[in-house]
Amino acid sequence: MPSTQVHVPPAALAGEGVRLGVAILTMGDRPAELSALLESVLSQYGPRPRIVVVGNGATLPPLPPEVQGVEVGRNLGISGGRNVALAALREHGDVDVVMYLDDDGLLPDPDTAQAVRRAFAEDPALGIVSFRIADETGDTQRRHVPRLGARNPLRGGPVTTFLGGGNAIRMDVVAQTGDWPETFFYAHEETDVAWRALDAGWRIDYRPDLVLQHPRTSPTRHAMYYRMIARNRVWLARRHLPAVLVPVYLGVWALVTAARRPPPAGLRAWWGGFVEGVRTPCGTRRPMAWRTVWRMTRLGRPPVI
């Protein structure tokens, strides 16, 4: 694995003043994939990012000396694990933007980190960048394009949410809007962060030229999928939507779920999660401004779907 940074011509280093961090979660079950990901990160052009790998309820494999490892005793979920990584990156106070990468992903282009730096250096209003997730053949699943009517995964631009498996977030966004929602554990945590960022005035861009290579998967591979997406969607609405939109949003998603015809066991789990979301605390309620609702509508995704 490389131990020295790659040197490139000065002209290619526009944005090098943006200090980059990388946060990776692992449950210890993909050591070969994690090693390949770290090699692709350490091979990026430009200044070496500060890298933190969190063993989320798992023992970490041996890591390169340039990588900081943090082990936690139990699985804190995606949000909790990312907050552990954030805390480790904050300790040194030398990170402006954090890239979050799935442990079975890969950065095939060595200019990805430098392109992220350039994007944030050139636009102070840019808060979050969503990568394009593509499999080994270069194909992007429709669910991995963060907009409605996602027929063309190569069309970039402003969006209202982002992909958790490959993204970059300005630390100023976190300082202004708060950490990842730990109680969510898994599902919709990115949308929670995105809605807070949009309401604070930040922009989110989908950048199809920034590619995270990732094996083709199905979200239903997670046993808790149906319960979590239902519970957390209710929490999301209760936390962030104007009161009048909460029943509209949840009603639309109930219809969408029924139209997708999940298996009976999945539908029962979904309904159980929905009821759980209604009955249990959702955290602090901070409804977004109507100007944010209008902004999301103009971007093609009003917060009712």
In terms of phi and psi (left: phi > 0; alpha: psi -120 to 50; beta: otherwise), the region of 9 is: beta
Q: Are residues 80 and 152 both part of a single domain?
A: yes
Q: Do 213 and 239 fall into the same domain?
A: no
**pLDDT value, residue 142:** 84
Assigned token pair, 291 = 């100007």
Our measurement of the distance from residue 294's CA atom to the centroid of its chain's CA atoms, rounded to an integer in Å, reads 23
What is the residue-level pLDDT of the chain in tens, covering all 305 positions? 443 343 444 444 557 799 999 999 999 999 999 999 999 999 999 999 999 999 999 999 999 999 999 999 999 999 999 999 999 999 989 999 999 999 999 999 999 999 999 999 999 999 999 999 999 888 998 888 998 877 889 999 999 999 999 999 999 999 999 999 999 999 999 999 999 999 999 999 999 999 999 998 777 655 589 999 999 999 999 999 999 999 999 999 999 999 989 999 999 999 999 999 999 999 999 999 999 999 999 999 999 98
Residues 96 and 159 in one domain: yes
User: Encoding tokens for residue 90?
Assistant: 């904050």
What pLDDT is recorded for position 141? 87
At 305 the pLDDT is: 83
DSSP-based three-state secondary structure for 92: coil
Domain hosting residue 280, numbered range: 221-298
One domain, residues 60 and 148: yes
State the pTM of this model: 0.92
For 210, which DSSP code?
A: E
Quickly tell me which residue has 């692709």 as its tokens: 40
**The residue to which tokens 């009003």 are assigned:** 302
Whether 72 contacts 57, CB under 8 Å: yes
- Domain final residue pick, 171, 187, 217: 217
Examine the domain organization and report whether 145 and 242 are in the same domain: no
Please enumerate in sequence order all residues whose Cβ is within 8 A of that of 61, keeping only pairs 6 or more positions apart, or say none: 28, 31, 34, 35
Question: Last residue of some domain: 163, 187, 217?
Answer: 217
69 bridge partner residues: 53
> Contact 193/86 with Cβ under 8 angstroms?
no
- CB–CB of 116/49 below 8 Å? no
Given 217, 237, 259, the domain boundary residue is 217
User: Is residue 232 in a domain?
Assistant: yes
63: exposed, middle or buried (C-beta count within 10 Å: 0-12, 13-18, 19+)? Answer: middle
